[in-house]
């Protein structure tokens, strides 16, 4: 019994030793595995930390980029506003330029007109200067007297004896001038009566030299007298017509808002030139 008990005890001890060795080995294996896992976990944690750091950096960059975008959007909006303002200013500037260009053109036209008027005035000055430089006898060669027969309705303005009147004028002027009479019969209202009066009182073609009124306007919309070249020829057939008088023809047409009769005046002037008649033309406008 004692031998059996010892054997059992020895066997049990061997078993315990074996179990203890196995346990230590297992614990060593587990410890190694745990250490390896801890290393892996630590490595993963390090990777995660690195990635979190990277994410934080990226998020910071994104935030900065968003801020930059916002600033750029504000700048773009300001630039667009400036562009609109500049466009508006350019349109205004173009309008101003057009106005200034028109003003310059108008000023040039006015300058050209002024130069033209100056040239005309200079010619008039030259003519007046020439007259001023003449001697007294050269200044005044012809004297014209206006004589009229107003008619029976008037107590004044009668010319009963034309030859006597003309001779008195010659006597008073000492025959120093070329004297003409400018006859008017009843306000030049009736040419047929006036022509007859000229025939009966002025001595015919070689009689008293006269200045014949060709045009007289008056206050109505039609002129008081407007003789044609045929009428002038008729007067020349019965009297000594040496001058023609055109009285304010341009002024009358302006006053009456009528077109100036270029053709009529040209015909009168051509007739005067062809028949060696002088023309006395007066205007008030």
In a domain, 83, yes or no: yes
pLDDT tens digits for range 248-260: 999 999 999 999 9
Number of domains in the chain: 2
Crossing angle (nearest 10°) for helices 262-274 and 229-238: 30
Q: Among 104, 135, 166, which residue terminates a domain? A: 135
Q: Which two tokens stand for residue 114?
A: 């002024």
Helices (H), the chain: 2-132, 136-139, 162-172, 191-201, 229-238, 249-255, 262-274
**164, 216: one domain:** yes
Residue 144 within any structural domain of the chain: yes
pLDDT band, very low/low/confident/very high, at 132 (cuts 50, 70, 90): low
**Residues 160, 207 within the same domain:** yes
Q: Are residues 97 and 229 in the same domain?
A: no
pLDDT digits (tens, 9 = 90+) for 11-49: 666 776 666 566 556 565 555 655 664 566 566 556 666
Three-state SS at 146? strand
Is the same domain home to 181 and 260?
A: yes
Say yes or no: 198 and 267 in one domain.
yes
pLDDT at 24: 58
Domain co-membership, 254 together with 126: no
Q: How far apart are CA 214 and CA 280, in angstroms?
A: 10
Within-domain flag for 11 = no
212 token code pair: 């014949």
In a domain, 146, yes or no: yes
- Residues 266, 173: Cα–Cα separation, whole Å: 35
* Residue 197 domain-assigned (yes or no): yes
Top pLDDT among 29 and 77 is at 77
Mean pLDDT of the chain: 81
Quick one: how far is CA 116 from the chain centroid?
21
pLDDT at 138: 57
Give the Cα-Cα-Cα angle 55, 59, 62 (nearest 5 degrees).
Answer: 140
Q: What are phi and psi of 161, to 5 degrees?
A: -135, 100
The per-residue pLDDT for 54 is: 65
Q: What does each C-alpha distance from 259 to 47, 217, 251 come to in angstroms?
A: 108, 14, 11
Of 135, 154, 170, which residue constitutes the final position of a domain? 135
- Interval 174-197: pLDDT, tens: 878 899 999 999 999 999 999 999
Asked if residue 12 is part of any domain, the answer here is no
Q: How confident is the model at residue 109 (pLDDT cuts 50, 70, 90)?
A: confident
In a domain, 35, yes or no: no
Taking the whole predicted model, whether its pTM rises above 0.85 is answered as no
Looking at the structure, tell me whether residues 154 and 271 fall in a common domain.
yes
pLDDT grade, residue 209 (50/70/90)? very high
Residues 169 and 249 in one domain: yes
Q: 175 and 76 share a domain?
A: no
pLDDT for the residue numbered 212 = 98
Domain limits for position 111: 52-135
Instruction: Name the domain boundary from 91, 117, 135.
Output: 135
Whether 29 maps to a domain, the answer reads no
Do β-strands 142-149 and 178-185 pair in parallel, antiparallel, or remain unpaired?
parallel
Percent residues over pLDDT 70 in the chain: 73
């Amino acid at each position: 019994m004692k031998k059996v008990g010892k054997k059992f005890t020895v066997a049990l001890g061997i078993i315990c030793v074996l179990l203890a060795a196995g346990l230590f080995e297992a614990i060593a294996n587990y410890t190694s595995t745990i250490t390896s896992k801890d290393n892996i976990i630590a490595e993963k944690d390090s990777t995660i930390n690195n990635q979190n750091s990277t994410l934080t950096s990226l998020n910071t960059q994104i935030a900065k980029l968003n801020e930059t975008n916002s600033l750029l959007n504000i700048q773009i909006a300001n630039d667009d506003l400036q562009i609109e303002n500049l466009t508006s200013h350019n349109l205004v500037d173009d309008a101003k330029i057009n106005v200034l260009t028109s003003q310059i053109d108008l000023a040039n036209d006015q300058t050209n007109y002024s130069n033209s008027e100056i040239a005309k005035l200079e010619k008039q000055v030259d003519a007046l200067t020439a007259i001023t430089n003449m001697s007294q006898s050269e200044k005044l060669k012809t004297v014209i007297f206006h004589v009229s027969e107003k008619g029976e309705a008037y107590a004044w303005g009668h010319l009963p004896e034309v030859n006597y009147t003309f001779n008195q004028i010659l006597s008073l002027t000492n025959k120093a001038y070329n004297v003409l009479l400018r006859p008017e019969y009843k306000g030049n209202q009736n040419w047929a009566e006036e022509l007859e009066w000229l025939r009966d009182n002025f001595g015919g073609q070689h009689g008293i030299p006269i200045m014949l009124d060709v045009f007289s306007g008056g206050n109505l919309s039609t002129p008081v007298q407007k003789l044609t070249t045929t009428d002038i020829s008729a007067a020349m057939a019965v009297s000594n017509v040496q001058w023609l008088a055109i009285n304010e023809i341009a002024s009358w047409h302006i006053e009456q808002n009528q077109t100036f009769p270029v053709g009529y005046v040209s015909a009168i002037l051509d007739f005067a030139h062809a028949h060696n008649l002088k023309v006395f033309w007066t205007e008030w406008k």
